[in-house]
Amino acid sequence: MILLENENIRVTFAAKGAELRSITSKINGLDYLWSGDATYWAKFSPVLFPVIGALKDETYIVDGKEYHLSRHGFARDHDFEVEQISDSELLFTLSSTEDTLKVYPFEFKLDLRYIISGSSVSCTYEVTNPAEKELLFSIGGHPAFAAPLTADASYEDCYLEFAVDESLTYFKISDNLISDQTDTLHLDKAKLFLKHPLFYDDALVFKHMESRAITLRNTKNEYGLHFRFNDFPFFGIWAAKDADFVCLEPWCGIADGVHHNQQLSDKEGIVSLPPGEDWKRIWEVEVF
């Protein structure tokens, strides 16, 4: 484990996938991330790159050639180079190789920059295009937060509080792809109480969420977290079946739709980065 800590929090990471592994408050002793129990889901906070969700038939087309990637891409399964910038900052780097070019025909440099401050940890995705052609990619977060945090609360005592939205329309998933069917969640004073059946049909996928901050709280005690994100056009909320966590997932990109033509350049939400340019997005979690 790789460690950052200050007087308020202790945060650990793994080089594999540049994955955030724990966020422990020194004030109350609570770890706010999911435990990684393999009975339900063995990951903690994977980075989704260069695709988010599933591709139709795990296949996409670039310049007339078919390529194959599994769900959420390959970055989460690769070891990143690690550099400690300061006592409060870590930089994880993954670059294209001969092996990645076989399944993803683009040169890239992907940096994940983690910074702690007070009781907060931020994650910055930085993508650089070193090539002489455009770089097409999607990227997003998948952090899983413990729900509940303490033994005196249950999953159903936990709720998400949205900064702006009064209702949320989500797109249903069909065979891992985004369907045309939608449903609407009507919030109770901006609150969505967690229930395991919410996620029995996979993630809730939002294309038009207005909130750029979500708070995870519960009715039994004062512990929780604020999750903030900007400039992510898509958002997912998910949990494994009957598991006591909730994933808050800001995305630049989305799974293939059921009618997608498999051309990567036509993929909904795909980011096109010109030669020699950089791109970045940030999400942040503050625990209390």
**Among the listed residues 37, 280, 253, 277, the one whose alpha carbon sits nearest the alpha carbon of residue 134:** 277
Domain coordinates in residue numbering, the chain? 2-287
Question: Contacts for 79-88 with beta carbons within 8 Å, 24 or more apart?
Answer: 79/15, 79/16, 80/15, 80/16, 80/17, 80/18, 80/112, 81/15, 82/2, 82/15, 82/18, 85/113, 87/4, 87/6, 88/4, 88/6, 88/115, 88/116, 88/117
User: What would the pLDDT profile of 69-99 be if each residue is shown by its tens digit?
Assistant: 999 999 999 999 999 999 999 999 999 999 9
- Look up residue 20 and give its amino acid: L
Q: Which helix (H) or strand (E) holds 99?
A: helix 98-103
Mean pLDDT across the stretch 63-70? 98
Instruction: State phi, psi for 266 to the nearest 5 degrees.
Output: -100, 0
User: What would the pLDDT profile of 83-139 be if each residue is shown by its tens digit?
Assistant: 999 999 999 999 999 999 999 999 999 999 999 999 999 999 999 999 999 999 999
User: What would the pLDDT profile of 205-264 be if each residue is shown by its tens digit?
Assistant: 999 999 999 999 999 999 999 999 999 999 999 999 999 999 999 999 999 999 999 999
pLDDT for position 86: 98
- Look up residue 88 and give its amino acid: S
Pair of tokens at residue 184: 């609407």
**Among the listed residues 207, 185, 198, 189, the one whose alpha carbon sits nearest the alpha carbon of residue 255:** 207
Q: Which CATH architecture has domain 2-287?
A: Distorted Sandwich (2.70)
CB 38 within 8 A of CB 99: no
Provide, for the chain, the percentages of residues in helix, strand and coil under a 3-state DSSP scheme, each rounded to the nearest 5: 10, 50, 45
pLDDT for position 232: 98
Q: Which residues is 125 bridged to in the sheet? A: 112, 281
pLDDT for position 155: 98
Query: What is the value of pTM for the model shown?
Result: 0.97
